[in-house]
Amino acid sequence: MFRPSAPFNVAMKLLVPTTTAPYGAGKKVYTTPEQSSQFFGSFRTFGGTENISNGVLTTINTAVINTWYRTDIKADCQVYICETGEVYDIVSKPEDIDFRHQYLQFKVKKVGGKA
């Protein structure tokens, strides 16, 4: 049976996208943190993921989030960290651990070009 290794003590907000179609092109617009629902989970970083692109070594800020099971957390959403104000894209489909509808685990990547 899965047990989380860290307590769910990091406050986060789920930014859900809506797709608008101005001039025929679809564009995602995310809810603001003030309009979003709050949840708690564990947030673990591992120093980022190293990537070599065109001979340049870059570090992509990634993290793994564990939280309680929620049906509204999807792969196209973003996560806002309340303490730091950072926004992360969900890059993997949230995994329902053991299909028990008790815990979720997913990987996120920081939005923006700043390291």
Statement: residue 113 has pLDDT above 60 = no
Tokens in use for 115?
Answer: 């390291």
> 46 with 60: CB under 8 angstroms?
no
Strand partners of residue 76? none
Place of tokens 């870059």: 58
**pLDDT band at residue 48 under the 50/70/90 scheme:** confident
Q: Identify the DSSP state of 69.
A: -
pTM reported for the whole predicted model: 0.84
Average of per-residue pLDDT across 14-25: 83
| Type of residue numbered 65 | I
